[in-house]
Amino acid sequence: MSYQEAKAAKVSDLQNGEMKQAQVGDTDVLLAKVDGQFYALYAKCTHYGAPLADGILHGRRLVCPWHHACFDVKTGRHLEACGIDGLPTYDLRIEGEDVIVRVPDDSPDRVTNMMARPEPANSKSYVIIGGGAAGAYAAEGMREAGFTGRITLISAEAEVPYDRPNCSKEFLQDEAPEEWMPLRPESFYKEHDIILLKGHKVTRVGPGKKQIHFEKGNPLAYDKLLIATGSVPRLLPIPGADSKHVRTLRSLRDSRELRELGKKADKAVIIGSSFIGLESAMSLQHLGCEVTVVAPEKLPFTRIWGDAVGQRILKWHEAEGVQFRLGRTVKHIYNQSEVSSVELDDESRLEANLVLVGIGVQPATSFLEGLTREKDGGIRVDEYLHAGQDIYAAGDITHYPEKGKHVRIEHWKVACQQGRVAGMNMVGAHLKYHAVPFFWSAQQDKVLGYAGHVKDYDETIVEGDLDGPSFLVHYIKDGAIRATLSLFRDKELCAIQELMYEGRMPKPEKVKKGVDWVRILKE
C-alpha cells in the first residue's frame, strides 16, 4: 500500500481540546489533541461535507458545525445523526516538534460502522414499519448492535430511505440531483441482508398475534416491531381543496411533482407560514413562480420564536419578492381546469395555478390496534423508546420523556437518532435516549439552527443584532435557557448544544452580562 506523508502541525500548535485542518497530499486532514494525545482523521463531515474544524471538540465528541452530526475523535466512529458513516482515521507520529500524518493513497472519505452478519441459526424476525430516516437508522442500529436475525424494513413509498429535509430545499429548487437523495443505495441493504419491502401499505397491526396486515398480500409475523411511520400532512377542509394542482409536500414523490408543476406555473399560493410553507415559497420562487403566502398568523414563526424573529424572517422573504397575506385564511379554491384563484376570508381573491398546503402534520398511526395512543395520535414510550408488547417507536410519532414530561418533536435529527437507539435497544443494548433536539431551516440565503426545545417561553435574551448578519436568541422557561436559535453562529451553537447535553447551561443572568460559549464549554 502506498502512502503520502506530510507535516500537519507543530506540537506546540495545539493545546488539549483544540483542532485544526491540514493537507496531506490531496486529502483534507483534521488534527486534534485530546488528553495530551494527537489524533488525525478525515476533515469533512460524512453528511454534507462540512469542515469539522469549524465545529466543536468536546472531550472525545466532535460536533459538525452545520447539522450537528457527532463523531468520536479518537476512533472516527459516528455517534449521532445527521451523518451515517464514521470518519477514516490516519496514523501519525511525532518527530521532534513536528506532527507527521500518513494517509493511504486509496483512503475513503467515510467508514461504515461495524455490522453483524446474519446467521441461519437465528430465526428471530425484527420488523420496521416506516421507510424514512428513523427506520433506516434503526435497521443499521440493529446490525451494529450485533443482531444476526432477519430484518425487514417496510415502506409505503417506492423509494429507498432518503434525505427528506431536502425535499423542500435544493431538490425542490432543481439544484440537487436524484443521486443526492438516498441515504444509502439499495445495494447497501442487500449487502447487509436488510429486506426492503417498498410500496407496501400497512393497514393493521395486531400486537396480540404479532402480525402486520397489508393492503395487498399475506400478513407478516414479527418477534419485535419498530413503528417509525412519521407524519402525514393535514388537509384543508374547504371547497376545491381536492383540485388537481392543490398539493402537499411530505415525500420525495411530492417534491418531484411539485417541482415540475412549479416550472410550469407562473403564480403559486402557499397556505401556511410553517417551515415547509416558507422553504417551499423560497424554492418555488427559484423556479420562477410569483409566490404569495397566506396564513392566519400575524408573523411567521411568532409562536415558537417570537415577534422580533418573525418580523426579521418576513423581511428576508419580502426582500426576495415573496408576497404575504397574513392574518387571513383561505375559504375557497376555485378550480377551472386546474386552479384559477383562491378566495380569502375577507372576500379578496388571489390568482393562482398552483396551491401548496402547508398547515402542519399529524402522526401516521391510524393502523395500530391494541396500543394506547395519545390525543394527537402519537405513541408514548419510555426512556428506551419501548412502547410495550415488544413494540418500539421512533421519530415524529413518539412521545418520549424529556426533563420530567413527555414531548413529541418533529425534527429529522431526532428521528434519526431515536431510530438508531431504538434499533440497538431491540437487540438488547439498553441505551437511554439522550440527545439535544436540533434542526435547521433555510430561509432564503439564511440558515437558522435551533438547539433545545421549549414551549411558551417566559423571556428571551438576544446576543447580537436581529437586523445584523448573525445572532443568537435564547429562550428562557422557569429561570433556565431551554433553547437557542442561531443565525450563522455555528461554533457557538455547537458549544451550547454540548452544554445542554451535559446539563451545564449558565444561568440567564450570567448570559445577559455576556459570555464566551466555547470557553464555558471547556471549563
What would the DSSP string read from start to end of 162-187? B-GGGGGTTTTTT-S-GGGSBSS-HH
The per-residue pLDDT for 113 is 86
* Rounded mean pLDDT, 249-257: 97
Mean of all residue pLDDT scores within the chain: 95
pLDDT at 67: 95
Residue 199: all three cell numbers together: 410500496
Q: What is the location of CATH 3.30.390.30 in the chain?
A: 445-522
| Of 385, 59, 382, the residue nearest 225 (C-alpha) | 385
Range(s) of the chain covered by CATH 2.102.10.10 = 3-104
Question: What pLDDT is stored for residue 83 in this prediction?
Answer: 82
Closest CA to 271 of 329, 357, 335, 337: 357
Question: What whole-number distance in Å separates Cα of residue 122 and Cα of residue 125?
Answer: 9
Return the closest-CA partner of residue 32 out of 48, 46, 44, 16. 16
Model pLDDT, residue 372: 83
Between CA 8 and CA 25 the distance in angstroms is: 11
Which among 294, 304, 157 is positioned nearest to 236, based on CA atoms?
294
User: Quick one: cell of 316?
Assistant: 428576508
- Residues 361-405 have pLDDT tens digits of 999 999 998 788 899 999 999 999 999 989 999 999 999 999 889
CATH 3.50.50.60 intervals, the chain: 125-232+363-427, 246-358
Residue 208 has pLDDT above 90, yes or no: no
Q: Are 420 and 138 in contact (CB under 8 A)?
A: yes
User: Rounded distance, CA 171 to CA 283, Å?
Assistant: 9
What is the architecture, at CATH level 2, of domain 3-104?
3-layer Sandwich (2.102)
Is pLDDT above 80 for 207? no
Q: What is the grid cell recorded at 45?
A: 463531515
- Residue 337 scores a pLDDT above 80: no
Spatial contact of 418 and 434, defined as CB atoms under 8 Å apart: no
Predicted confidence at residue 206, as pLDDT, reads 80
> Do 233 and 257 form a contact (C-beta atoms < 8 A)?
no
For position 369, what pLDDT does the model report? 85
Q: Which three cell numbers stand for residue 370?
A: 391494541
CB contact set of 522 (below 8 Å; sequence gap of 6+): 17, 58
Rounded Cα–Cα distance for residues 32 and 101 (Å)? 12
Q: Rounded CA gap, 323 and 267, in Å?
A: 11
| Number of neighbouring beta carbons within 10 Å of residue 347 | 7
Residues in the chain: 523
Q: Is the pLDDT of residue 95 over 80?
A: yes
pLDDT class of 339 with cuts at 50, 70, 90: confident
- Number of other CB atoms surrounding residue 515 within 10 Å: 15
Asked if residue 141 has pLDDT above 80, the reply is yes
pLDDT tens-digit profile of 455-494? 899 999 999 999 999 999 999 999 999 999 999 999 999 9
Question: What is the pLDDT, as a whole number, of residue 338?
Answer: 78
Average pLDDT over residues 351-370: 93
Query: What is residue 139's predicted lDDT score, i.e. its pLDDT?
Result: 98
Looking at residue 1, what is its pLDDT? 75
Q: Which CATH superfamily is domain 125-232+363-427 in?
A: FAD/NAD(P)-binding domain (3.50.50.60)
Residues 29-78 have pLDDT tens digits of: 999 999 999 999 999 999 999 999 999 999 999 999 999 999 999 999 99
Residue 448 has what pLDDT? 97
β-strand 267-271 against 290-295: which pairing, if any? parallel
Rounded to whole angstroms, the Cα distance separating 65 from 268 reads 34
What one-character-per-residue DSSP string does 211-256 give? Answer: EEEESSS--EE-SEEEE---EEEPPP-STTTTSTTEE---SHHHHH
**What is the pLDDT at residue 335?**
84
Percent of the chain with pLDDT over 90: 93
pLDDT score of 126: 98
Reference 394, options 405, 371, 378; nearest CA is: 378
Confidence tier at 424 by pLDDT (50, 70, 90): very high
Note the pLDDT of residue 272: 97
Q: Can you give the pLDDT at residue 289?
A: 96
Which CATH fold topology does 445-522 show?
Enolase-like; domain 1 (3.30.390)
Q: For residue 276, what pLDDT is reported?
A: 95
Which spans in 390-516 are helix H? 412-427, 490-502, 508-512
Name which CATH class applies to 246-358: alpha beta
Round to whole Å and give the CA distance between 379 and 396: 9
